[in-house]
Chains A and B, each alone.
Chain A
């Protein structure tokens, strides 16, 4: 089981370390506003001296999952919170809400209060959006990027939109305010959650929390140099019938067939998604808990995750998703991503990271968090053995390496 393989190298008893390094002394300070960024993580071979005179610290309940020492198969901080230049670091309160990439050396992360950063295969560099606006969505196009947190402020970078150089932010972002939208779209009734576009598509599907009976599925059409417009994904009337008013996540393997999940366990299959009139079908997820993330390995192998450690698996049934038992956490799971049907990652509250190896979901260790147990909201993987995880004040990678 590959997930087991991930943890066997954790040779060090995590509690037996000096107090300043003890990850497990207490988690009482863990909260929504961490006091500082996670600590620099000692690598395995550098930690023995420190451990040699370690006192027998107080017992901890989660030492196994949160070791002090970073090893190659343990997730460790590596991102714009750990820059050698403190002035360029993101505020440790920043929530990283989305991570997406084109390749292992072209990864983007975005989050609260204007946080946008790029990884080039070697290091993370902040990209100045020019405004302290929270970003939840990243759309990596051929030749440029789109970022936004609301559909009234959309930022593009590198795309051939009309815009004077003077209006670009220091990071090269161009702000598009209030793009054209249909009458049914009222931004005051829409809280954006996440989005997905098939590679090469000009259309991004967006999952939203639609208030007062509004739809929770919209589309953003982006065709430079002139077209950037909002379009209806699924109408409010149809959403009222199938339950797509509160959508958290959307994904698919082809432009025509997508899955969306959301509040109350809503699980929606969108067919003809690349047409002007998509069709929808509601599936039974066998839960009323919120589903916050969905990722499809294929049309007949799809995962969803959500509140209270809920995981559901779709394998082609015409109506039902399968209940996954034995999930090693009760924390809320917020996002899921993978590279194949035997390599899937899920992340959640309180520093929880899970990995599926084709057989079993297993807990993955996270090192270097000190006493913090940050909520994790974003995950993206370029290839097996490589994953990026983002959350409150952290970006993590295996071994803290690219």
Chain B
């Protein structure tokens, strides 16, 4: 057995040849690693069994003891909740030094702490970028211009203006087959059959063609092939028998013809409006096996909504409208919402109201998990979910504490 007790209190931990200013143990004093930990969370290394009884020094191993020092890069700030809980290299609120806060959002840019310095990043959703490289004026350049289209310096050719096509799809001109109407959203669309922009912006077709009656049952005059005056089926009707004389004889919002001629719904499904984010409602056979229809309203008397798997959908868990959480802190497990703690947090008191209330990255009483105490030495900190240790020789030499 290579772990042995010293001074009646400190238990050294044996690592395979390491170099570091401070290292971290998964519990107060019970594991060993061959990795330099620095500020990173180490991967646990299997415990060496009793058969590996070669003395540490003979095996070229370094003994580690509990330490009250912070690892390199970590410190304790005036507003710290726990010892050594601030990483000066990555903490946005203490970037490089205690109290140095990186701006959250400034002139279209956000800041993160990288290697102890605040670094700005421009995001596409702000539709602006930092084209002059000057941080003080933020993301100063619009990226929906002909000179900087989506990226700095990307110029659009003549006749193809830079267009925000919607949903952060930015580019020079519309895609082939689409018409550009700046006052419409989306600005690029197929105008060849649009009754209100027939072949060109704002070219509205007269459904009665100046008072002429519909030539066939359930029809009107509309846009096709970019021309008005074409005979079209009324909404919810279709010419399913290809006989022009009887017009659009078939209702196409039924289970037999759902949204199109011959599109029959499977048993157990019904023809309803499917409403998806960012898309127009569409008549669809709903719902597939294993999913449940959750209605959000009606369109022309037809139920509209979306299909959910109540077994696993975080936004309809066990029942329509039962949202586990919007931030991922609770997830759906076979129809029941379960608390889902992010890395470095845990629910130690069982209350859902305060969520995952414990910081297992830094709390020395719950280090890496509820109830795991860092008590190998007075003042031993918890960093990255590990109790801090360092080479026993350095501890014996009486290194400085912070």
Binding site for B on A (CB under 8 A): 32-33, 91, 93-95, 97, 112-113, 131-134, 149-150, 152-153, 187-188, 191, 209, 245-246, 262-264, 288-290, 292, 306-308, 332
Closest to A290 in B: B350
What are 9 of the A-B contact pairs (CB < 8 Å)? A32-B338, A93-B334, A113-B311, A133-B318, A134-B322, A150-B318, A288-B349, A289-B349, A307-B351
Q: How far is the CA of A188 from the CA of B350 in the complex (A)?
A: 22
A97 B336 Cβ-Cβ under 8 A = yes
For the residues of B in contact with A, the DSSP-based class is loop
Contacts of B317 in A (CB 8 A): 134
A234 to chain B, nearest CB (A): 16
Bitwise, B2-45 to A at CB < 8 A (1) or not (0) is 00000000000000000000000000000000000000000000
A residues less than 8 Å from B337 (CB atoms): 191
Q: Give the distance in Å from the alpha carbon of A348 to the alpha carbon of B248 in the complex.
A: 64
Whether, in the assembled complex, B333 has its beta carbon less than 8 Å from a beta carbon of chain A, the answer is: yes
CB–CB B351/A133 < 8 A: no
With beta carbons under 8 angstroms apart, the residue of B311, B322, B350, B354 that contacts A308 is B350
Complex contact B334–A95 (CB within 8 A): yes
Contacts of A307 in B (CB 8 A): 349-351
User: Which of B320, B338, B353 is within 8 Å of A246, CB to CB?
Assistant: B353
Question: Besides the contacts A263-B354, A264-B353, what 15 more A-B pairs have beta carbons closer than 8 Å?
Answer: A32-B333, A112-B334, A113-B334, A131-B292, A133-B310, A134-B310, A134-B317, A134-B319, A134-B335, A149-B322, A152-B320, A153-B320, A289-B351, A290-B349, A307-B350
Q: Whole-angstrom distance from the CB of A399 to the nearest CB of chain B? A: 29
In the bound complex, what is the Cα–Cα distance between A113 and B335 (angstroms)?
6
When chains A and B are docked, how far (Å) is the Cα of A14 from the Cα of B319? 41
Residue B132, interface by CB 8 Å: no
Interface string of B348-388 (1 = CB under 8 A from A): 01111110000000000000000000000000000000000
* Chain B residues whose CB sits within 8 angstroms of the CB of A289 once the complex forms: 349-351
Q: What are the 4 closest A-B residue pairs judged by CB atoms, nearest first?
A: A307-B350, A134-B318, A263-B351, A290-B350
Q: Is the CB of A91 within 8 A of B349?
A: no
* Interchain CB contact under 8 A, A113 and B318: yes
With a cutoff of 8 Å between Cβ atoms, the chain B residues found around residue A288 in the complex are 349
Considering the chains assembled together, what is the distance between the CA atoms of A134 and B310 in angstroms? Answer: 9
> Given the interface contacts A95-B336, A209-B353, A290-B349, does A150 sit within 8 Å of B292 by beta carbon?
no
Distance, CA A245 to CA B351, complexed state (A): 11
- As a 0/1 sequence over residues 314 to 344 of chain B, the CB contacts with chain A under 8 angstroms (1 = contact) are 0001111111000000000111111000000
Complexed CA–CA distance, A262 and B318 (Å) = 22
Are B319 and A153 in touch, CB under 8 angstroms?
yes
| Residue among A132, A153, A289, A292 with the highest chain B CB neighbour number at 10 A | A132
Q: Which A residues touch B320, using CB under 8 A?
A: 152-153
Inter-chain contacts of B354 with A (CB < 8 A): 263-264
Which residue in chain A gives the minimum CB-CB distance to B318? A134
Residues of A within 8 A of B323 (CB): 188
* Distance between Cα atoms of A288 and B348 in the complex (Å): 10
**Which listed residue, A112, A188, A332, touches B321 by the CB 8 Å rule?**
A188
Looking at the complex, which one of A95, A245, A306 makes contact with B353 (CB distance below 8 Å)? Answer: A245
Task: Find chain A residues with CB under 8 A from B351 CB.
Answer: 246, 262-264, 289-290, 307
User: Is B311 a contact partner of A132 (Cβ separation < 8 A)?
Assistant: yes
Tell me if B335 and A246 are in contact (CB < 8 A): no
CA distance A152 to B319 in the complex (A): 9
Q: B322 to chain A: which residues have CB within 8 Å?
A: 134, 149-150
A152 to B321, CA, bound (A): 9
